[in-house]
C-alpha cells in the first residue's frame, strides 16, 4: 500500500466522524473498522504493516514527553495508545509532531484535551485495537523509544523542551505570571 493510500483511509474514517459530538477514539475506531473492511485482505495487511511502521517511527523520547504532558503522566503502554491516536490525527499532524512534538499544542484535539481534561481522542487505544484486529497485525511492544531520554517529571526541563505544551498542561510558573 502506498503511503498516500494509507493516509486516504485515515482521512476518510476521520471524515466519517467529523460531525459527531465527542469525536473520541471509539467513534473513529468504528469508522476505521468499516473502512478497513472494504479493503482486500492484502490491502488490510498492507495497511496494518504501514500503521505499525508509523507507530514505530513515532517511538521517540520527545514524542513520549508530549504524551506525558498531554496525559498528565504516561507509561509506555499508554504511549502506544498515544501513538495510535497521533496517527489517527492524520498525515499533517503526524508529520508536525515528529518534526516538533511541541507543535501538538496547536492541534484542536490536544487543545480540547487541555480544556476538558479528556485525552481520550488522542490516546486512542481503540483505534490501535481496531487496526490490530482487522489487519491481523501486532502493534504492541515495539521496543524502547529512540533519542535522548530526559526527566519528564522535571517541570523546568519540560518547559524548556516543550514550552507550548507545558503552558497548556502545566500552566505558567507562579513567578512569571500570565502571558496573555
pLDDT tens-digit series, residues 83-92 = 999 999 999 9
Average pLDDT over residues 49-75: 96
Any alpha helices (H) in the chain, and if so which ranges? 3-16, 25-37, 41-57, 61-71, 76-88, 91-99, 108-116, 125-135, 155-161, 163-169
58's CB contacts (< 8 A; 6+ apart) are 83, 86, 87, 94, 97, 98
How far apart, in whole angstroms, are the C-alpha atoms of residue 45 and residue 47?
A: 5
Identify the pLDDT of residue 118. Answer: 78
**Residue 140 Rama label (left phi>0; alpha psi -120 to 50; beta):** beta
How far apart, in whole angstroms, are the C-alpha atoms of residue 120 and residue 126?
A: 10
Average pLDDT over residues 139-164: 92
Confidence of residue 129 (pLDDT cuts 50, 70, 90): very high
> How many CB atoms are closer than 10 A to CB 55?
21
Closest by CA to 127, choosing from 77, 71, 72, 89, is 89
Average pLDDT over residues 1-28: 85
**Per-residue model confidence as pLDDT tens digits over 35-59:** 999 999 999 999 999 999 999 999 9
Closest by CA to 10, choosing from 88, 82, 120, 94, is 88
* % of the chain surpassing 70 pLDDT: 92
- pLDDT above 70 (res 174): no
Confidence of residue 132 (pLDDT cuts 50, 70, 90): very high
- pLDDT above 60 (res 175): no
pTM for the structure as a whole: 0.90
- Greatest alpha-carbon pair distance for the chain in Å reads 58
Measured over the CA atoms of residue 147, residue 163, residue 108 and residue 113, the dihedral's sign is positive
Identify the pLDDT of residue 9. Answer: 98
Amino acid at each position: 500500500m502506498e503511503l498516500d493510500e494509507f493516509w486516504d483511509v485515515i482521512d476518510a474514517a476521520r471524515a466519517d466522524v467529523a460531525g459527531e459530538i465527542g469525536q473520541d477514539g471509539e467513534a473513529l475506531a468504528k469508522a476505521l473498522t468499516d473502512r478497513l473492511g472494504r479493503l482486500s485482505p492484502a490491502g488490510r495487511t498492507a495497511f496494518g504493516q504501514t500503521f505499525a511502521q508509523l507507530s514505530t517511527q513515532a517511538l521517540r523520547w520527545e514524542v513520549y514527553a508530549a504524551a506525558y504532558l498531554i496525559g498528565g503522566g504516561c507509561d509506555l503502554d499508554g504511549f502506544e495508545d498515544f501513538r495510535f491516536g497521533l496517527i489517527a490525527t492524520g498525515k499533517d499532524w503526524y508529520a508536525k509532531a515528529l518534526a516538533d512534538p511541541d507543535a501538538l499544542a496547536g492541534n484542536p484535539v490536544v487543545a480540547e484535551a487541555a480544556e476538558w481534561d479528556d485525552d481520550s481522542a488522542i490516546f486512542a487505544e481503540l483505534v490501535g485495537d481496531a487496526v490490530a484486529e482487522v489487519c491481523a497485525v501486532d502493534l504492541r511492544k515495539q521496543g524502547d523509544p529512540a533519542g535522548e531520554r530526559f526527566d519528564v517529571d522535571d517541570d523546568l526541563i519540560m518547559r524548556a523542551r516543550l514550552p507550548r505544551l507545558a503552558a497548556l498542561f502545566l500552566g505558567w510558573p507562579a513567578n512569571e505570571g500570565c502571558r496573555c
